Amino acid sequence: MTGSILFEAIVFLGGALICVPIAKRLGFSSVLGYLFAGILIGPYLLGFVGEEGEDIMHFAEFGVVMMLFLIGLEIEPKNFWKMRRTILGMGGLQVGATMLLTYLLFAAIGFEWEVSLTVSMAVALSSTAISLQTIKEKGLFETTYGASSFSILLFQDIIVIFMLGLLPLLSNTGEVTEADGHGGGGNLLESLPLWLQTLAIILSVAAVVAAGRYLIVPMLRRVATTRVRELLTASALLIVCGIAFLMELVGLSPALGAFLGGVVLATSEFKHELESTLEPFKDLLLGLFFMAVGASINFIVIGNAPLMIGSLLVAIIVLKAVVLFIVGMVFKLKLDQRLLLAIGLAQIGEFAFVLLSFAFQLHILDQEQMDTMLVITALSMALSPILGIVNERLVLPRIGTKQVEKRAVDHIAKTHKVILAGFGHFGSTVGRFLRANGIEATILDQDSNRVDLLRKMGFDVYYGDATRMDLLESAGIAEARILIIAIDDPDAVADLVAMVMKKYPHVKLMVRAKNRYDAYELLNMGAEHIYRESLDTSVKLAVDVLHQLGFRKYTLHRQAQKFIKSDEESVKRLAGLRRNKEEYIFKAREEIELQEKFLEEDLQRGFIVNDKDWESEQMRVAFGGVEEGE
């Protein structure tokens, strides 16, 4: 519409700001919000974005690169090595079977074998961006579903290199018209013999590993000593760009290289700095990417052959899902995990855009075939989150680990109804202690493996997201006396507190808070019983330190009790103060100010000095100082 970069920025950012909150409000993942924002601003609805949408997509694919770098950071090399079997096995099986079936399907429809093979390669790949983002948002990374998805996606990232290498061999013309500037094209090594190419690839991978150890970490150390924060941001971006560039140069997938770089840096001391620095960039770029996908859905192509595209779309999604389901079966995933996997990876991924346009340049596909496949790819990506919701809301509750399992309710459970949301590290301790005292809490948890175990141990467990009101209601929130909220995610905790306080005000809420900051939020929402996980333990540690330094234990014990009590009072008081002020923009600045207030209060109180208990000083003075204590 207009070439101004500012205007484009406004369109994309505005679209995101309008659509994503709506999607979140409706309980959908942000991916869906971005996709709809893209469709909305795209050429066929509002028309703010035209052909340049595709360029933006290529730019935004960099978000995927960053995402894999960040994922790499989370995986230590030893764990990566442990995963090799699932990566090769699950990934290989999924890609192989999907390609075979797709090839047969397209060949049967009557496409030439080169076309069918190209399409089958594109179809075999799933969208790392969509599936991993969804898994992360739902906090399912630790489940078998999360790990399996990740393994398969990683395998696809590796295999795509070979696919891009294979495409020129399929080309009828046998020549590459031009380097296409991304993905498989534009690589320096094309003219070299195969063994040299292979050598270069191995060398560049080795270069990434070596650079991680001997170049990047020393560089980061030096940067850290300058104490200029933006330099760290710059170096983080430089690392990712550098790796991506190197990988493109030798014809490898930049995402794969970035992942490798991440793994190498996972053990370095800069892991968390890098994560927090790159996270916002990644999120924005991914958002941009999803919007670009939405904008690229060509409604004219759809309009020309709606039936053909519709049925191909359905056929492909079903085919991919069935293959994934079988892969899950072979690798012994539980039914619900298997379904999540099947639906989660059933879309065609962003690599398809690269493959398809590369194949078009090689004249393997004609314009119409490419357009059709691009539309199907984009549509499958847009459908993916919707299918996920259908699966989660309508299918999963009925099968596998059931949301509810009927069991006889004894009298105590009825009259002393306690619901425990979240049975992780925190909640499990709470639940075990309750049970040790004969109180059986009704548990809500969203890890199906854990749910099964707990059921085996005789707990009354509801499987699913505790912030869903319908689940809470079926767990009996209406008759509950106490709801213990031991969920890890502070935002989910706040949501749950607000929801229950509004609808079931009679239920007593006992809430886990990560830190002082969360405690303020909860206090200001009106929650009374707040348990900061960082309070008691750290005081206990300090007590032990002082004991090591020669203080007597009982004195320390009493001081610790006083300290905890006054700390809790301070939090309550300061939470009130905070409400009156305008909203803080910078969390960090607020933390510092509060810290300062706490330290001041401590000074005024002067703990040890005021401890006169069991002291005879006063009396000795009164009696003329004759006695040596009582």
Q: Which of 118, 82, 86 is nearest to 102 (CA)?
A: 118
Q: Where along the sequence are the contacts to another protein (CB under 8 A)?
A: 558, 561-562, 565, 613-614, 618-619, 622
For residues 510 and 564, which CB has a smaller minimum distance to another protein in the complex? 564
Q: Name the pairing type of β-strands 442-445 and 460-463.
A: parallel
Cα–Cα distance for residue pair 491/318, rounded to 1 Å: 35
Task: Report the residue number, 18 or 564, with the smaller CB distance to another protein.
Answer: 564
CB of 630 to another protein, least distance (A): 11
Tokens 């195969």, located at residue: 194
For the bound state, the minimum distance from the C-beta of residue 562 to another protein, rounded and expressed in Å, comes to 7
Q: Which is nearer to another protein, 505 or 629 (CB)?
A: 629
* Shortest Cβ 611–another protein spacing (Å): 11
Shortest distance in whole angstroms from residue 563 CB to another protein: 11
Decide: helix, strand or coil at residue 17.
helix
H or E segment and range at residue 442? strand 442-445
Nearest distance from residue 623's CB to another protein, in Å?
A: 10
Residue matched to tokens 């869906």: 32
Q: What is the dihedral of CA 543, 544, 549, 555, to 10 degrees?
A: 40
**In this complex, which beta carbon is closest to another protein, that of residue 503 or of residue 565?**
565
| Secondary structure (H, E, C), 560-605 | HHHHHHHHHHHHHHHHHHHHHCCCCCCHHHHHHHHHHHHHHHHHHH
Say how many CA atoms lie within 13 Å of 414 toward its Cβ: 5
Opening angle at CA 184, ends 119 and 54, nearest 5: 75
Residue 273: both structure tokens together: 């700095």
Query: Closest CB to another protein among 514 and 558?
Result: 558
Question: Shortest gap between Cβ of 568 and another protein (angstroms)?
Answer: 13
Q: How far is the CB of 552 from another protein (least distance, A)?
A: 15
Output 534 or 561, the one with its CB closest to another protein.
561
Which CB sits closer to another protein, 5 or 621? 621
In the bound state with another protein, the residue whose beta carbon lies nearer, of 334 and 558, is 558
Residue entry with tokens 């700390």: 567
By beta-carbon proximity to another protein, the closer residue of 474 and 616 is 616
Q: Shortest distance, CB of residue 618 to another protein, whole angstroms?
A: 5
C-beta of 515 vs 561, nearer to another protein? 561
CA 27, distance to chain mean position in Å, is 16
Q: Is the dihedral of CA 247, 253, 256, 262 positive or negative?
A: positive
Which residues, at least 6 apart from 490, have a Cβ–Cβ distance to it below 8 Å? 513, 514, 518, 521
Least distance from another protein to the Cβ atom of residue 619, Å = 6
Closest listed residue to residue 342, CA positions, set 354, 353, 328, 362: 328
What gap in Å lies between CA 136 and CA 142, rounded to an integer?
Answer: 10
Compare residues 551 and 584 and give the one whose CB is closer to another protein.
551
Map tokens 């390669």 to a residue. 121
Q: What is the DSSP string of 238-305?
A: HHHHHHHHHHHHHT--HHHHHHHHHHHHTTSTTHHHHHHHHHHHHHHHHHHHHHHHHHH--HHHHHHS
Let me know: does 446 contact 421? Beta carbons within 8 Å.
Answer: no
Q: How many residues are present in the chain? A: 630
Least separation in angstroms between CB 603 and another protein = 20
